[in-house]
Structure 1
Amino acid sequence: MAGPIDISVRADVKAISRKLSALAQNQLRFATAQALTELAKEVKADEAKNMDRTFRSPRRFTINSLGVQGARKDMLTAKVYVKPIAAKYLTPYEDGGSHVLPGTSKAILNPKNIRLDKNGQLPRKALERLKARKDVYIGPVKSKSGEVNGVWQRIPAKKGRATHLKLLIRFGDALPVNKRLNYRSHAQALVSRRFNAVFGAALARAMATAR
């Protein structure tokens, strides 16, 4: 998606560390790494729920595009990221703008008379399959309301009705995005709300296993 954001808990860790025993101090980096990784996993889960609420049955590809890179004792940074392909089309839902057109497409595909998948969306590779059919024409057609560009199925003459075209998919311009994920503010709110509890649990585990 758009540029990454940094959510720092350095001040929180520093404030807590001043109150710890020497043994706890020795376990501090390990506990911090564990806490950061756990928080990143919680952010990922929360962002997945956020996508589900925002898009109402998003594709699994979109949900599965979220990933986590855990922290280590020698690298006290955890990351929640979106894989590049999904990040490209999700960015307008954070920063505004128009829908990102898929692949090399120059138009939004607006389904009209075609079976959709269980998410109410055009199945993947549907356009490629339609292009291979002999009863399909792709291009502009003059209609009563003006020229319409899209994917058309040739319907044979039947019961006194002449051969005609049925619009399957209409091509349209990229439209402005009217929804927002607000993933940055969601992540910040979760980390602020959960840090103390998650860090406390991580430190307790670290102390219990200290040698």
Structure 2
Amino acid sequence: MHIPQDVRRQTTKRKIVDAAVSLLSTSDYHQITSKDIAREAGISTGSFYTYFDNKKDILVEILKEYVLNAHISPDEPVPVQTNSLPGTELLLRTIVKRCFALHDFPPGFSKNILMVSLSDPDVQRIYGEYEIAMIGDIQKVVRSRIPNMGQSRLEAASIVIYSAVKGSIHSIKFNQPSIDETVLVDELITLLQSYFNSFS
């Protein structure tokens, strides 16, 4: 069966990206070469350069997709109260679930992203865009529940909430504590609910 060229190209590009994620999950970013990624993907080094200029190009592409997925569409409704969960708790769980899902990389890969973002301006900029997107979404959620909150306090509260979620994610991803992730998330929700209730 004939496979269209654009489908073949997309398949090959995906193989390269998946190979890079696999290698970056087990090896230091600075020790991996484009040749290593091509070998892992099962293609020639020349084919690699048809799709990417270097390994940083791949990392940037992955992060751009990461940032794109972080944005909530302006038309996406804010979750409303259900019979099983109070509205505030549902909103907080939505935020936490979204943040955790967007960090669903192997621990080694997450560490590489963080380390490269500290030294590379391009990666740092994209990583910063992701954080801005998440804080913006949190502001949208807080504003939906407390419409009269001043802008300055709204921004500060959103940063505090994001920082608490980010810290919990880093604890799970980087420190790999023995505590179950579900228990940690439940405690995080309890903490955020108390903070949220203090706005009243």
> Do both proteins adopt the same fold according to a TM-score greater than 0.5, normalized to the shorter chain?
no
Q: Which has the higher contact order (CA 8 A, sep 6+)?
A: 1
Using the size of structure 2 for normalisation, the TM-score is 0.25
Using the size of structure 1 for normalisation, the TM-score is 0.24
Structure whose alpha-carbon radius of gyration is higher? 1
Structure with greater helix percent: 2
